[in-house]
Structure 1
């Protein structure tokens, strides 16, 4: 009885796939294109890749070219992906000319202003393989692996040079204490046009010049043992303290009074030594609560979140 039910379920799934044109991924039989490379000749893209034996033995197999410009969506995500019959050259390699202008995907190729990204996969009837590696040419975004919600603010931050080299390769990674120092020192130099003279400044466990600059400005200090713990993740309430201290540097006579306009579920979790600074940053909408009504004072922050918070401070008080 159990075998009959399983068979019926499989037939139902197959019929749904056929009825709605759903493509199945079947990497066991086809494999995926290997070692995809990209170059430009005569203002057209030349693609070359190696085909695994599983693909070469399938008659009538097609390849699909997936294309996107910059951070735009892939053509496959838009439901529009080009397909052609796969031909083989020497030793199982395939080399093709791909012209996105002729295909109507873009108006022209401009490597100085845009980045172009391409990947390949196989298609055999309604079965598709996994994609190959992604190849790219042209202007690369200054930062990598960022969430879509942060793109516009990160673009502004990049233009203002608020994103240090040390964090730009992976913006979703949790930011450390020394990395946040690097961001806020860039804010200081942007705001004042000055470079911090950190001569004579020292911290027991860090020689990072940006950490020393932050210590010179009074933004950070060591613990009771004189350690700064530069590689540790920074918490949201520690960020609030550093940003308030930075404002004191910019505006020594500023009034840091606030009104507790928001009643967050975890207000009681804020450390006594950080409470006023957290409330002030919330009052100024530099820090915000999450969808669960929490402000998460002890939580860590991603690099993209930290840069966006610093950008908000700049925009608010610039």
Structure 2
């Protein structure tokens, strides 16, 4: 604690005593002149944080041994999310990217001893959330849709990407040797790690539930698994390659601090200190008797941070306090089991707090009301565990509260409801900067039908249910979609009957496609599977199959082709396909009513596939198995090779029939295989 000046008339001995007492208290209790926002980081005698106290987001440092607080950055732009190790501080900084409101960020390194700073993220990208340890810095680089783990060596001044392609990393932990993070590349939140000495990435979890909050110490990785409404803590030891479950019981467990063999866990509404080697735990309690905002373990000390100040004490004292509370039933084990949520502003905003502190934080959590901070990732689950909302950092421009409700099943002719209607409500009038992902599972539900007919529907008031499925995971029986605000959704199967396909080869395909509202029949109840399909009809079913957001491509009331007037029944679909570059027409015409040939259909499909799919590793077919491959037009050859390699198109009797007009059943089959390859069915 920094010592205030005393009147000069004080005796020298008393003055010396007061100064000495101030230094002693500095190791036990720390207060901050510049209010920390978000988390703090500490190492040795150093504490760092970000604050808006000066009217700008800057980095601050406090030396516990002297009580001296220093403002490290003075740039007019945004500096945030610092970390500290020995005499180095790192942070993210957007001083070179100020065109957008929040901008992209670089990583800066500051030497406390010399006072020198430099940018260390020397490659293109959006670099955020740095962590420093053992002369190395790791962070997440958001570039081209991937979120990669970057590693910088301070001594060698080298930078490298250590995560594999298509990583979706966040929540990084680092101990100088092992990097661990949460990765969403597979659709679920899994834990990945990278061993610096071995130069090997390893996936530690494979979708048991959502795995979150990794911590690393001494080559051991711990994390939390949310499964069947209960969260437990697991550990992976890099030395022996074993994964161990550290907690049991019906209470939720979350790791918050890890050092050497000691792991601090929130268990229900109390704290437990776990020895990860013996898998034994003992109660531990903070001086205030509450769950802290943050806690740190360092040797034989525990550091408590309540959002305002810090207290350091011996672990044995905190354990004795916990044992005393547990053995004294008259003393509450935790008078304030959950801290009241305090919204944290996002660096780049214009105020130090984006909303007021909740006055009923504990009650709101019990009722399912969740605080979503603008600068954090968040996962919200419905009461029955079937529905999940995943919100990534930066989705909102300020902190919000979201609640999931369960309504009655949707009832309407032709629909089989599999789940309740889930309704989620965003309370605040916040700007949604990027979509949220919702997912609903049909696990443990008996289904006497083709599961590929299942759709995730948006349920709108006084409107027909709208299919919004974006991806399907048949391993976890989960369907997911993106949404842009409050809404309602459910899993259902739609059954559409036709009177002329019962014995047709495409029966199952047509029924499945119709269940997704992609293709319709005629007023007389027929489908006419062998009737030729027009070019306009094919474009219509392609656009319908992708659940394209109505706001994504808005018609500009101008004719795209001279033979497609604005009042043409399929003009909107043709316009969207043209704007996306999937169709081009002929000399200003589209010939919407002409039959679509098989090679035309494949060419349109493959342009859409290349635009949408993230799978670029498939092999093309050389078409050697088809005796009529020479009939393929030169402009369609590459598309036919790719489609055959993906099994989207299949011939008959060693013929691929590129010039043949496509029948409605053939178009339905091709769309069916296409959606399978996209993971949407």
Corresponding residue to 1:307 among 649, 668, 679: 668
CA distance in 2, matches of 1:263, 1:153: 25
How far did residue 276 of structure 1 move? 0.9
SS of alignment partner, residue 546 of structure 2 = helix
Residue 157 of structure 1 pairs with residue 508 of structure 2 = no
CA distance in 1, matches of 2:552, 2:522: 19
Corresponding residue to 2:636 among 245, 263, 274: 274
Preserved contact between residue 143 and residue 171 of structure 1 (Cα < 8 Å): no
SS of alignment partner, residue 500 of structure 2 = coil
Distance 1:160 1:305, change over 3 A: same
The equivalent residue for 2:545 is 187
The equivalent residue for 1:218 is 581
CA distance in 1, matches of 2:619, 2:677: 16
How far did residue 198 of structure 1 move? 2.9
How far did residue 265 of structure 1 move? 0.5
Preserved contact between residue 166 and residue 179 of structure 1 (Cα < 8 Å): no
Distance 1:198 1:295, change over 3 A: same
Distance 1:204 1:316, change over 3 A: same
TM-score w.r.t. the length of structure 2 is 0.25
Distance 1:311 1:141, change over 3 A: same
Q: Give 1:157-176 correspondences, 5 Å limit.
A: 157-164=513-520, 169-176=527-534
CA distance in 1, matches of 2:604, 2:541: 11
CA distance in 2, matches of 1:196, 1:249: 15
CA distance in 1, matches of 2:497, 2:574: 23
CA distance in 1, matches of 2:536, 2:510: 20
SS of alignment partner, residue 607 of structure 2 = helix
SS of alignment partner, residue 300 of structure 1 = coil
CA distance in 2, matches of 1:256, 1:193: 31
Q: Give 1:113-262 correspondences, 5 Å limit.
A: 141-146=496-501, 148-164=504-520, 169-189=527-547, 196-199=553-556, 200=558, 202-207=560-565, 208-224=571-587, 226-251=588-613, 254=616, 258-260=620-622, 262=624
Report Cα offsets for 1:73-131 as digits up to 9, x if no partner. Answer: xxxxxxxxxxxxxxxxxxxxxxxxxxxxxxxxxxxxxxx77xxxxxxxxxxxxxxxxxx
CA distance in 2, matches of 1:149, 1:164: 18
Distance 1:198 1:251, change over 3 A: farther
Distance 1:236 1:195, change over 3 A: same
Preserved contact between residue 205 and residue 228 of structure 1 (Cα < 8 Å): yes
How far did residue 313 of structure 1 move? 0.5
Distance 1:284 1:230, change over 3 A: same
Preserved contact between residue 535 and residue 594 of structure 2 (Cα < 8 Å): yes
The equivalent residue for 1:296 is 657
CA distance in 1, matches of 2:535, 2:661: 10
Residue 317 of structure 1 pairs with residue 678 of structure 2 = yes
CA distance in 1, matches of 2:603, 2:537: 16
Preserved contact between residue 174 and residue 300 of structure 1 (Cα < 8 Å): yes
TM-score w.r.t. the length of structure 1 is 0.50
How far did residue 189 of structure 1 move? 1.5
CA distance in 1, matches of 2:517, 2:546: 11
Decide which structure has greater helix share: 1
Distance 1:143 1:182, change over 3 A: farther
CA distance in 2, matches of 1:201, 1:252: 32
How far did residue 140 of structure 1 move? 9.1
Decide which structure has greater strand share: 2
Distance 1:209 1:144, change over 3 A: farther
SS of alignment partner, residue 594 of structure 2 = coil
How many residue pairs end up in the alignment?
180
CA distance in 2, matches of 1:295, 1:277: 13
How far did residue 201 of structure 1 move? 5.6
| Alignment root-mean-square deviation, CA | 3.0
Distance 1:260 1:243, change over 3 A: same
Q: Give 1:73-84 correspondences, 5 Å limit.
A: none
Distance 1:310 1:159, change over 3 A: same
Distance 1:257 1:285, change over 3 A: closer
CA distance in 1, matches of 2:506, 2:497: 13
Report Cα offsets for 1:7-60 as digits up to 9, x if no partner. Answer: xxxxxxxxxxxxxxxxxxxxxxxxxxxxxxxxxxxxxxxxxxxxxxxxxxxxxx
Preserved contact between residue 144 and residue 171 of structure 1 (Cα < 8 Å): no
Preserved contact between residue 581 and residue 607 of structure 2 (Cα < 8 Å): yes
